Amino acid sequence: MSTPAARNPVPSRDVNVRRIRFDYPQGSLRHHFVDGDLVMSHVVAVLSATFPPGEDFFVQSVRHFSDQVTDPELQRQVKGFIGQEVTHGREHRELNDRLQAMGYPTHRVSAFVRWSLADAWKRAPKKLCLAYTAALEHYTATIAECLLTKPAAQRLLGETEVRNVLLWHALEETEHKAVAFDVYRASGGTERMRRWGFRIQSVGLIGLVVIATVLSMLGDRATYNPVRLVRSIAALRRSPFLERDVVRQLRDYTRDGFHPDDHDNSQLLDRWTAELFGPGGRLADHLH
């Protein structure tokens, strides 16, 4: 199977662009802000650093093929996707500035990712760049679902503003998880390229996170406390983000005929939209 039949029409989805702002008052975050955990604090900082250049690349890739989208519903969703991703990039830049001031090398990680993606855009076929985007959107949507469904994942983030920004980001990643994928199909992208895009980006993303986390930790004095380091590494085995269901869902992307909507998140979206932005919602006061 090389080119799948496009799903027509694209099902209606709410891809809401929210005018939102987050704030990080001085002293509001302890240095190891992920439940005091050494390794996970650096992992989250690295991931946050990848988001602004990543979101810019996603917007660039989807926008490049937007003139090939004829379905009015998908056209509407593309506009929402772009609006959400631009907002994600802006808010993570703010968070990254705060983390940089706390000693995390977020600016250096962002600069490397920006260079790497710019090089990919220059050298790779544009449709492969869109395949990369669809693959990375599957990663963010899977991580988002883990965060929104697993209380253990939510507890790691305590009650900080980092928890707020990641819950909001997770909700919106779940809302638009199929948009880049549907644009890829609408542009005639093949199953073969889609799967290879996922494999290439899996190696790149996992390699980047591991290497950047190690380099980030080398600049942290707590890393040189052997007891704390060993305990933090051992805790990774119990991480909700590394459980088998998460790995299975990631791998499902390589299945022939896969579509993001195969994982129905409609009830999850209803729950978290109400919990975050409904009357008295956790983040209702963050909207402008």
Residue 138 covered by a domain: yes
- For the full predicted model, state whether its pTM sits above 0.85: yes
Q: Is 195 exposed, middle or buried (0-12, 13-18, 19+ CB in 10 A)?
A: middle
Residue 11 covered by a domain: no
Residue 29 covered by a domain: no
Residue 26 covered by a domain: no
Domain, as residue range, for 231? 38-286
d(CA 184, CA 194) in angstroms, rounded, equals 9
Per residue in 178-189, pLDDT (tens digit) is 999 999 999 999
Q: What is the number of domains present in the chain? A: 1
Residue 30 covered by a domain: no
Q: What is the pLDDT of residue 27?
A: 77
Per residue in 11-62, pLDDT (tens digit) is 999 999 999 999 988 877 899 999 999 999 999 999 999 999 999 999 999 9
pLDDT mean across residues, the chain: 95
Q: Following DSSP, what letter does each residue of the chain receive, concatenated? A: --SPPPPSSPPP-------B-----TTSS-SSTTTT-HHHHHHHHHHHHHHHHHHHHHHHHHHHTGGG---HHHHHHHHHHHHHHHHHHHHHHHHHHHHHHTT--HHHHHHHHHHHHHHHHHHS-HHHHHHHHHHHHHHHHHHHHHHHH-HHHHHHTTTSHHHHHHHHHHHHHHHTTTHHHHHHHHTT--HHHHHHHHHHHHHHHHHHHHHHHHHHHHT-GGGG-HHHHHHHHHHGGG-GGGSHHHHHHHHGGGSTT--GGGS--HHHHHHHHHHHHSTT-TTGGGB-
CB 75 within 8 A of CB 194: no
% of the chain surpassing 90 pLDDT: 93
The two structure tokens encoding residue 34: 């992920």
d(CA 78, CA 85) in angstroms, rounded, equals 10
The two structure tokens encoding residue 267: 């009830």
Residue 86 covered by a domain: yes
Per residue in 260-280, pLDDT (tens digit) is 999 999 999 999 999 999 999
Q: What is the pLDDT of residue 288?
A: 86
Q: How far is CA 218 from CA 106, 224, 229, in A?
A: 14, 8, 11
Contacts of 223 (CB under 8 A, 6+ apart): 38, 217, 229
CB 175 within 8 A of CB 167: no
Q: Which single residue is written with the structure tokens 């099902």?
A: 11
Residue 3 covered by a domain: no
d(CA 44, CA 96) in angstroms, rounded, equals 11
Per residue in 210-263, pLDDT (tens digit) is 999 999 999 999 999 999 999 999 999 999 999 999 999 999 999 999 999 999
For 70, phi then psi, to 5°, come to: -105, -20
Per residue in 155-198, pLDDT (tens digit) is 999 889 999 999 999 999 999 999 999 999 999 999 999 999 99
Closest listed residue to residue 172, CA positions, set 277, 248, 94: 277
Residue 66 covered by a domain: yes
